[in-house]
Amino acid sequence: MVKDLVANLRVPNDELQMHCAATIFKCAVDQETRELVRQYGGLLPLTDLLSANENKELQAAATGAIWKCAVSPENVKELQKGGVISKLVAILTQQPEEVLVNVVGALGEMAKNTDNVALIRRVNGIAPLIALLTGTNQELLVNTTLAIGRIAEDPGSMPVIERNDGVRLLWSLLKFNHPSVQASAAWALCPCIQNAQDSGEMVRSFVGGLELVVSLLHSHSMEVRAAICGVISKIAMDEENLAVITDHGVVPLISKLS
């Protein structure tokens, strides 16, 4: 079946290509399917479909298929032969949310590789990613925070994240009304705090930020509490900030979690 799907990606029929890409999107959660798509030469045709700006259904299907296929590192290498990162960054703005969710998801998978993070930075992909943090779509926010968190693991990318107000926007998402977004934002903050040039001062610059972090240890979500413990471990590396969160009662709250 996968062989036929890949073959039909090359047929110049938008509807046929859309259905084939959408099927790959659904099936590529399976590792064997992802490998077969690569083996049958389906990754580059999917990359070519990214330019289908006039057909958003086709573009959504193609970006979704690329996202799921990019879970496999071998596929990421193959996708990059078609310049997939620059093509994904090129469609990071003025798109329907169903396309953006997939584009950002794909970039998040690409960002597992440090060389790809540097490439995302070089093609100016960080700023448009950060701009998406102001939205309200839960799935898009989770994918975006995940991608930015992986990019922040590269110290060379942190100045770009800071210049574009990325850390403040991530911190503001700790107030979001869904635990999956809160947790994902918190995990993204960990490398941001670790790799910022003056992380102690940066953290202190967020009015009420430390109090907010400590308060989230009361969250009913274990996922949120775990992520917040990660944030606290980074905050505590600065003595002044450690003193502040200690005053807010962080020690007994953490001890209750054990």
- Whether residue 73 lies inside any domain: the answer is yes
Task: Give the span between the Cα atoms of 250 and 214, in whole angstroms.
Answer: 6
Q: pLDDT of 127-149, one tens digit each? A: 999 999 999 999 999 999 999 99
| 211 within some domain | no
Q: Is residue 179 part of a domain?
A: no
Give the Cα separation of 253 and 249 in Å (integer).
7
Residue 168 lies inside a defined structural domain of this protein = no
Say how far apart CA 62 and CA 46 lie, in whole Å.
6
Specify if 133 maps to a domain: no
- Identify which of 27, 24, 31 has the alpha carbon closest to the alpha carbon of residue 49: 24
Answer whether residue 40 is part of any domain: yes
In order of 2, 3, 9, 104, 252, the CA distances from 36 in angstroms are 7, 8, 14, 24, 52
- pLDDT tens per residue, range 29-51: 999 999 999 999 999 999 999 98
Assigned domain for 210 exists? no
Per-residue pLDDT of 229-252, as tens digits, reads 999 999 999 999 999 999 888 888
Q: CA 146 to CA 152: how far, in whole Å?
A: 10
Mean model confidence pLDDT for the chain = 95
* CATH code at position 19: 1.25.10
Task: Please say whether the beta carbons of 106 and 66 come within 8 A.
Answer: yes
- pLDDT tens-digit series, residues 59-100: 999 999 999 999 999 999 999 999 999 999 999 999 999 999
Residue 4: domain span: 1-84
Is the sign of the CA dihedral 67, 191, 137, 96 positive or negative?
Answer: negative
pTM value?
0.95
Alpha-carbon distance 83 to 61, whole Å?
A: 18
Quote the number of domains for the chain: 1
Distance CA 163, CA 169 (A): 12
Can you tell me the distance from the alpha carbon of 200 to that of 47, in angstroms, rounded to the nearest whole number?
42
User: CB–CB of 198/237 below 8 Å?
Assistant: no
In a domain, residue 54? The reply is yes
User: Is residue 97 within 8 Å of residue 137, measured between CB atoms?
Assistant: yes
